[in-house]
Chain A
Amino acid sequence: MSLVFAGACSHAPGITGRAQLAEAGVRDAFHAEFHRMGDALMQSRPDALVVIAAEHFANFFMNNMPAYAMGMADHYEGPIEDSSWLGIAKTRVPGNAGLSARLIRSVMNDVDVAFAEEWKFDHGIMVPLHFLTPKFDLPVVPVNINCQGPPLTPLKRVWAFGTALRTACDEAPERIAIVATGGISHWPATPDSGKVNEPWDREFLARWQANDRDAMLSYSDEATYRDAGQGGFEIRTFIALAAAARGAGEIRFYAPIPIFSVGCTVALMSID
């Protein structure tokens, strides 16, 4: 089997932790679309969910920062953050070490990837799971692309990673869903939190919807930092997913919600 579902979504901690501070109409519409993405995910009858995330120094630090890492455990835990702050209770999330090992071995043919037999999920994975698999009962294979601590992996390598991940999934007998999660433009964890460059976001999403490889890879980190903030580096997760799915994107929801610190996004991508 191979991929049975592909999608992308936001993961900002305010989506759950500061939900009560958002304007109710747009918040409820966003949350509802997030849940609908979960329904579509489960309707694809996946055996496992690969989450391409951009974690925030929960597991990997500047003493040994992998450009790419994949989890290889039978269970994980999260959230690492204070539960009341994030609005998500601490829980155990199932994994599939055997599947992870096979995916990692395959990816390694093309891209060097670190493996991790323990992994504490932060909001970058827990917020999406809260909406997509609210019972936390679908085995997860976590993937991290370093988007936090420069030097960062070049976008052309991100594309290669996504391509290698697709090859690995194609070789597996399991039905695999894949979800990328990241912000587009945003300036999180600064006093600028809430600032969003909506035109920049919409341009990036147009390139992503068209799965226009060259257009997506044309962003320099300098320009992204200037126009989309340090949070914009997380476009790497969207790009890796596009390389893996190879299809056309469909934006199901996009709206800046300042108190959530990001242009909140729910998107699907066809698998070709």
Chain B
Amino acid sequence: MSLYAAQKLLYHLNREPTVQARFHSALPELLDEYELSHEEREAFCAGDIGKLYVLGANGQLLMHYAALLGMPWAEYIEAMREGVRRYGPVRAGIYAMTTSTDEKVAGV
């Protein structure tokens, strides 16, 4: 259930300006409203794209979230690779990595 909650937070963050504002001004209180696991909460607090990717967050939700964080494309792609290096393969969902962690498919 918690992955669902984490993805719902991403969904709200990606489309609701008021949630985006609270994300920047009152993150702990915002996170309290979602049934997140300790691991997910830590990832949101740290802006850890790689952890959220490995936990199985839908890639499209995560991509929009990375844009919201202002991450350049190459940095976002590398953050997902780094997540796999640190935490292992993607644990859920349909956005698993099929290339190796040292492969830069599109040159980034």
- Residues of A that sit less than 8 Å from B by CB: 13-14, 17-18, 21, 56-59, 61-63, 80-82, 85-86, 120, 122, 148-150, 187-195, 225, 229-230, 258-259, 261
Least CB distance from B54 to A in Å reads 11
Q: Which B-chain residue is minimally distant from A54 (CB atoms)?
A: B60
* Cross-chain contact B63 with A189 (CB below 8 angstroms): yes
User: Closest 6 interchain pairs by CB?
Assistant: A194-B106, A189-B59, A56-B60, A258-B106, A194-B105, A85-B67
Q: Would you call the interface of chain A mostly helix, strand, loop, or mixed?
A: loop
* Cross-chain contact B105 with A57 (CB below 8 angstroms): no
A12 to B70, CA, bound (A): 18
* Cross-chain contact A195 with B98 (CB below 8 angstroms): yes
The total of chain B residues at the interface (CB under 8 A) is 35
* Cross-chain contact B15 with A191 (CB below 8 angstroms): no
Q: Is B51 an interface residue (CB 8 A)?
A: no
* Cross-chain contact B105 with A195 (CB below 8 angstroms): yes
* Cross-chain contact A192 with B105 (CB below 8 angstroms): yes
Interface residues of B in 53-108 (CB under 8 A from A): 53, 58-64, 67-68, 70, 73, 77, 80-81, 84, 94-99, 101, 103, 105-108
Interface hit among B4-12, B24-32, B39-47: B4-12
* Cross-chain contact B14 with A58 (CB below 8 angstroms): yes
A29 to B15, CA, bound (A): 33
* Cross-chain contact A61 with B77 (CB below 8 angstroms): no
A80-B14, A187-B98, A190-B96 known; 14 new pairs, CB 8 Å cut-off, are: A18-B73, A56-B63, A57-B58, A61-B7, A61-B11, A80-B15, A189-B62, A191-B103, A193-B77, A193-B105, A229-B98, A258-B105, A258-B106, A259-B108
